[in-house]
Structure 1
Amino acid sequence: MKKFTLSFLLIIVGFINAQAQDFQGMAVYESKTSTSDLKSRFEGNKDITPEMRKMIEDRMKGMFEKTFILNFDKITSTYKEEEKLDAPGQQQSQFGGGVKMMASMMGGGGTFYKNIKDKNYVVDKEFMGKEFLVKDSLPKLNWKMESETRQIGGYNCFKATAVRPVSKSDLRNIKFKNDKKDAAKTESKEKTTSIMEELEMPENITITAWYTPEIPVSQGPENYWGLPGLILEANDGKTTILCSKIVLNPKDKAVIKAPTNGKVISQKEYDETVVKKMEEIRKMNSGRNGNGMPMRMP
C-alpha cells in the first residue's frame, strides 16, 4: 500500500511539473517616453516651419510610443516590438537616416530574450548599419516591496521600487542641459556646436514597478524581472511601460528562443561602442563645413 501511495504521489508531482513546463503566456505592453525636453527645443526656433514641426513630432511619436509583445513561460521570455508598416513616403524623409539611428537606441532593438534561471539575457541590436548580439547577465535589482496596491486590467497588483544604473546606450533618459549662463554662448555657436554637447544622462534611475502574484512568474518587459509575479507596469521617470492585454496558455504556443544573429558583445562593450561613435559624430558635426562624411562602423 505504501509503495502504491508513493508511486501515485510521484505521478501527481510529475504531472504538475509537466503542466508547469507547458505553461505559457503572452502580454502586450504600451511604451511611452516623455518628449517634453525635446519639444521645448522647437519653441521659438524660427528655422522650423509648421510643416517641419509636424513631421518631426510624428517621427518622435513613432520613436517614443511603441507596442511590444512579451511571450513568457516560467523561466524564459522574449520581448519584441510589434511590427508596423511605415506610412507611404516616410522612409524618404530628410530626417529618415538620423531618426532610424536614434530609434535603435530608444528601447527597440530586435528581440530581448531573458532566462531568469541562468540570470542572463540576449538581445540583437542594429547600430549604424552593423548588427550586434548583446549577451550579458541580467541586472540585479534590489527591489523594495511597498504597501501600495492597485488594479491593472483586473489583476491585483503590488508596488515595488528599485534603483539601477542607466545604460549609456539607452537614450530615453537623456536630458538637455539647462544652463542659462551658457544660453547666449550656445546661441552664438549654434552653427558650429553639436547638439550632443547640450545633453546629459543620469547615472542612476529609480524604477517603480507594479506586479501581480496572480500570474506567478518572475518576468516582465525589457530587462525587468525578479518580483514574485508578472510585472504589468514599469516606470523610470521618463518612460512608462504598461500592460494592455494578457493571454494565458494561448492555443498557439510561441517559440521562445534567444536571437543568434550579430557580432557577440557584452553590454559594457556595446555601450562603449555607441558612446564612441556618438562622440565621433559630435566632433564631425562640430568641425564640418557642410560636407560631412557619413560615419561607418569598423
Structure 2
Amino acid sequence: MKKNLWIVVLLSLVTNVLVAQYAHFPSGGVIHFEKTVHIKNFMKRQLSITKNDNFDRSYVEQLMSKAPTTYVFKSTLSFQGDESRSEPVKQELSGVMRNLVWYGFDYSTTYYKHIKNNSFKSLLEYGGSNILTQDSLLAIKWKITNEYRNIAGYTCRRANGVLLDSIFVVAFYTDEIPLSSGPASLHGLPGMILGAAVPEHHYSIYATKVELSQPVLTAELGKKRDKPMSRKELSAFMRDRMGIGEWSTVEEFNFLMVNLLL
C-alpha cells in the first residue's frame, strides 16, 4: 500500500515538472486596453502651470465645468515575437472633449517597439501635422515589488518605475506573456505590462481582454514625407514652436513633453 502511494506521489511530481517545462507561453496576440484619464484633475494641473492669461483661463474653466470627471480612451496592442504595436481605437468625442483633448491627455498615438533591436517609433498628429519619432526604447528604471493583482485573467506583479528623469509610474506585468513590452512607450519588465498608472499625469491604463493569435505587424508609420525625429530633436522642435517664456512656461513645456513621449 505504501509502495503504491509513493508511486502515485512520484508520478504526480514528474507530471508537474513536465507541465511546467512545456507550459505554453503565447508568442502572439492582441491586448485590449482602456486608459482612464481624470479630466478635471489633469486640467487643474494644466492651469496651475499655464502662463497667466485671464481670457484663456476663463475659457478653460468654463469647459472644465461641463467636462466629465473621467474619460476612457481605448487602444489595442498587437504583439508577435519581439515586436509590438499599439494603436488607438477610433471613438466619437463630445463637443467639450473635442475642445479639451488637444491639451494633451491623449494624442491618439500609434507606437511600435522592437524589443530585441531596442528600437522605438511613434506617430501622432499635433497642430495639423504628423509628428514621427524614431529612437531607442525609452529608458525606465524599475524596482519589482511583492504586490500582485489579477488583470484580464492574468496574475500580474507590481513594479515601480522612474522615466524621463523624474516621472513616477506604477506598472503590473505578467510573465505568462514573456515579451518585455506594454502599452504606449512602456517596456523593460520580465513580461508584458497589462496595467499602469502615472499619478502626476492623472491617468491609468489597464488591459480588459487578451486574445491569443498570430497578428501580422508592420514597423511602418505615417507617410513617406513624414520626417522622423529623435526625442532630442522633438524636444528642440517643440521648444521652438511653443515659445518658452513668451507664450508658455517651462513647466508647461515639460508637462507637454511627457505626454508626447510617454
**Alpha carbons of structure 1 residues 211 and 264: separation in structure 2 relative to 1, 3 Å:** same
Answering whether residue 111 of structure 2 is matched by residue 81 of structure 1, we say no
Shift of 1:100: 5.5
1 CA distance for matches of 2:62 and 2:105?
24
One-letter amino acid matched to 1:276: D
Deviations along 1:173-204, one digit per CA (max 9) or x if unpaired, are xxxxxxxxxxxxxxxxxxxxxxxxxxxxxx51
What does residue range 163-242 of structure 1 map to in structure 2 within 5 Å? 163-165=162-164, 204-237=166-199, 238-242=202-206
Answering whether residue 234 of structure 2 is matched by residue 270 of structure 1, we say yes
Contact 1:233–1:240 (CA under 8 A) maintained in structure 2: yes
The TM-score, its normalising length taken from structure 2, stands at 0.68
Aligned partner of 1:291 in structure 2 is: none
One-letter amino acid matched to 2:32: V
Gaps of 5+ in 2: 1-21, 48-54, 249-262
Contact 1:77–1:256 (CA under 8 A) maintained in structure 2: no
Answering whether residue 35 of structure 2 is matched by residue 36 of structure 1, we say no
Shift of 1:52: 5.2
Answering whether residue 31 of structure 2 is matched by residue 27 of structure 1, we say yes
Aligned partner of 2:116 in structure 1 is: 117
2 CA distance for matches of 1:49 and 1:139?
32
Helix, strand or coil at the partner of 2:238: helix
2 CA distance for matches of 1:141 and 1:79?
18
**Alpha carbons of structure 1 residues 51 and 270: separation in structure 2 relative to 1, 3 Å:** closer
Gaps of 5+ in 1: 1-15, 166-202, 286-298
Aligned partner of 1:283 in structure 2 is: 246
Q: What's the RMSD between the two structures over aligned residues? A: 3.5
1 CA distance for matches of 2:61 and 2:246?
30
**Alpha carbons of structure 1 residues 230 and 49: separation in structure 2 relative to 1, 3 Å:** closer
Deviations along 1:67-114, one digit per CA (max 9) or x if unpaired, are 111011121111111012345xx4xx7x95x64643xx4342432111
Helix, strand or coil at the partner of 1:268: helix
Shift of 1:255: 3.4
What does residue range 253-268 of structure 1 map to in structure 2 within 5 Å? 253-261=215-223, 262-268=226-232
2 CA distance for matches of 1:260 and 1:246?
27
2 CA distance for matches of 1:82 and 1:249?
19
1 CA distance for matches of 2:60 and 2:81?
52
Answering whether residue 207 of structure 2 is matched by residue 246 of structure 1, we say no
What does residue range 7-26 of structure 1 map to in structure 2 within 5 Å? 23-26=27-30
One-letter amino acid matched to 1:68: S
Q: Percent identity?
A: 25
**Alpha carbons of structure 1 residues 77 and 48: separation in structure 2 relative to 1, 3 Å:** closer
Helix, strand or coil at the partner of 2:145: strand
Shift of 1:28: 0.9
The TM-score, its normalising length taken from structure 1, stands at 0.61
Answering whether residue 145 of structure 2 is matched by residue 146 of structure 1, we say yes
2 CA distance for matches of 1:67 and 1:49?
25
1 CA distance for matches of 2:110 and 2:124?
8
Shift of 1:38: 2.5
**Alpha carbons of structure 1 residues 48 and 271: separation in structure 2 relative to 1, 3 Å:** closer
Aligned partner of 1:65 in structure 2 is: 72
Contact 1:80–1:108 (CA under 8 A) maintained in structure 2: no
One-letter amino acid matched to 2:78: N
Answering whether residue 155 of structure 2 is matched by residue 156 of structure 1, we say yes
Shift of 1:140: 2.2
Shift of 1:49: 11
Helix, strand or coil at the partner of 1:232: strand
